[in-house]
Structure 1
Amino acid sequence: MFTEVTCASAPGDAARPNEDLAIAGPSWAVVIDGATAPAGVDSGCAHDVAWLVARLGGALAARLSAGVPPPVPGSLPALLAEAIADTAGAHGGGCDLGNPDTPSATVAMIRVAGGRLDYLVLGDSPVLLGLAGGGVRVVADDRLERLPGGRPYSLELVRRLRNAAGGFWVAAARPEAAAEAVHGSVGLRELRAAGLCTDGVTRLVDWYGWTWDRLATELETRGPRAAVGAVRALETARGPLRGKVHDDATAVWARLPGA
């Protein structure tokens, strides 16, 4: 069980819904980051990204709270696959789920069970493992950063390589994407805490020169709200490296016994 879980989430634009979601229970936490659809792209779906994020989050929370599938090592991908399948079924027959631009999201997840912490990362929302001896281990899925040709990517390239071999994987309508997640377990004695962030927060590292240790320290000492505030201040002062000035930004920090 966690001894404390804190979180913060802020929309990138007050005029738009926040497409991030943070949810947690006594022994688990999830962060989901919906992929904002580019202007003019037809998703083939009657639902928006915020709907997908809420549905997927609800399906994950129901399973994590009930212990379904049972919390055995390596079972988080199976749990995510079931949640994706449930969410796909909730679309109804009017949505073209074969459309490569169907709404999608990244997922970061942690769960405490049986003296260990299980983790899963699908897409560019990392898990930060605060080590008992100090420092942080980062669990990341960097496949979106390794597409052919380098950034900026064309819409067609992203469309072709989303949820495809040699490309990158996200939670959309294909349950088999869950098997492509980065996942594993670590003994609780090795940890003091764990954190989850969307890429709106990891801009601090990716764009503004912070180290992962500094980000973990910020989350641990000043809390997720301070980390979100720090990225907003830097976005305003220095501008974005690419894309929108502000992105939805979400962070969770979960303390473990003995921390």
Structure 2
Amino acid sequence: MFADLACATSPGSPGRPNEDLMIAGPSWAVVLDGATAAAGVDSGCAHDVPWLVAWLGGALAARLSTGAAAPLAAILEAAIADTAAAHGGGCDLGNPDSPSATVAMARIAGGRLEYLVLGDSPVLLATAGGGVRVVADDRLERLPGGRPYSLELVRRLRNAPGGFWVAAARPEAAAEAVTGAADLREVHAAGLCTDGITRLVDWYGWTWDDLAAALEERGPRAVIEAVRARESAQGPVRGKTHDDATAVWGRLTVP
């Protein structure tokens, strides 16, 4: 079980829905970050990104809350399949621009903290000896040619070998997630963040240790306020000025 769990989320713009989602139970937590559709892109789908995120989150919560012993990747695979089925026959799920989301998951089971990362929403493990271990999926940052990426390049390499993987309509994407586990005696807390939070590290000079310390000492809400302050003062490195930002921080119970 988590000894305690703190969560916060904030939309990037008051005029748009928050496409992030955080869900948690006594022994698990999930953070999803829906991929905002580019202007003029036809997703082939009757549903928007918040719909996809809500369905996927609900399917994950339904399985995790039962205490099922299946691996996290298997749980994600089944949740993606459930969500794909919920689209119905009117959506072109073969369209590579179909709504999608990144996934970060953590679960306490059998004296271990299990984790899964698919896409650019990392898991942070605060180690008992000090310091932070970052579990990340950086394939989006390693696409050929370097940023800025063209829409066609991203479209071609999304959920494709040699590209990057996200949760959309292909259940097999779950097998591409970064997964593992840590002994509960080796970690004292864990965090899950969307890339709206990790801007602090990627763009604004924080270290991962700085981020973990702020989550531990000041909490997720204060970290979101720190992101917003930097965005307003320095502007974005690329893209939108403010992104949806979500963070979860949980202290762990040592068995």
The two structures have a TM-score, normalised by structure 2, of 0.99
Partner of 2:8: 8
1:97-136 to 2 correspondence within 5 Å? 97-136=93-132
Q: Is 1:248 equivalent to 2:247 in the alignment?
A: no
Q: Is 1:37 equivalent to 2:37 in the alignment?
A: yes
Task: State which of 181, 187, 191 in structure 1 corresponds to 2:187.
Answer: 191
Which structure 1 segments of 5+ residues have no match? none
Partner amino acid for 1:240?
Answer: P
1:54-133 to 2 correspondence within 5 Å? 54-68=54-68, 70-71=69-70, 75-133=71-129
> Which SS does the other structure have where 2:7 is aligned?
strand
Q: Give the Cα–Cα distance (whole angstroms) in 1 for the partners of residues 60 and 67 of structure 2.
A: 10
How many residues are paired up?
255
Partner amino acid for 2:44?
Answer: G
Deviation at 1:258, TM superposition (A): 5.0
Partner amino acid for 2:177?
Answer: A
Partner amino acid for 2:64?
Answer: L
Partner amino acid for 2:176?
Answer: E
Partner of 1:212: 208
Partner amino acid for 1:153?
Answer: Y
Partner amino acid for 2:65?
Answer: S
> Which SS does the other structure have where 2:65 is aligned?
helix
Which structure 2 segments of 5+ residues have no match? none
1:56-110 CA distances to partner (integer Å, 9 max, x unpaired)?
A: 0000000000123x15xxx110010000000000000000000010000000000
CA contact (8 A) 2:119 2:165 kept: yes
> Which SS does the other structure have where 2:55 is aligned?
helix
Q: Which runs of 4+ in 1 moved over 4 A?
A: none
Partner of 2:166: 170
1:182-226 CA distances to partner (integer Å, 9 max, x unpaired)?
A: 000110000100000000000000000000000000000000001
1:141-163 CA distances to partner (integer Å, 9 max, x unpaired)?
A: 00000000000000000000000
Partner amino acid for 1:21?
Answer: L
The two structures have a TM-score, normalised by structure 1, of 0.97
Q: Is 1:51 equivalent to 2:47 in the alignment?
A: no
| Alignment RMSD | 0.9
Q: Give the Cα–Cα distance (whole angstroms) in 2 for the partners of residues 198 and 36 of structure 1.
A: 13
CA contact (8 A) 2:166 2:173 kept: yes
Q: Give the Cα–Cα distance (whole angstroms) in 1 for the partners of residues 223 and 137 of structure 2.
A: 21
CA contact (8 A) 2:184 2:254 kept: no
Q: Give the Cα–Cα distance (whole angstroms) in 2 for the partners of residues 237 and 52 of structure 1.
A: 33
Q: Give the Cα–Cα distance (whole angstroms) in 1 for the partners of residues 82 and 113 of structure 2.
A: 25
Q: Give the Cα–Cα distance (whole angstroms) in 1 for the partners of residues 3 and 22 of structure 2.
A: 17
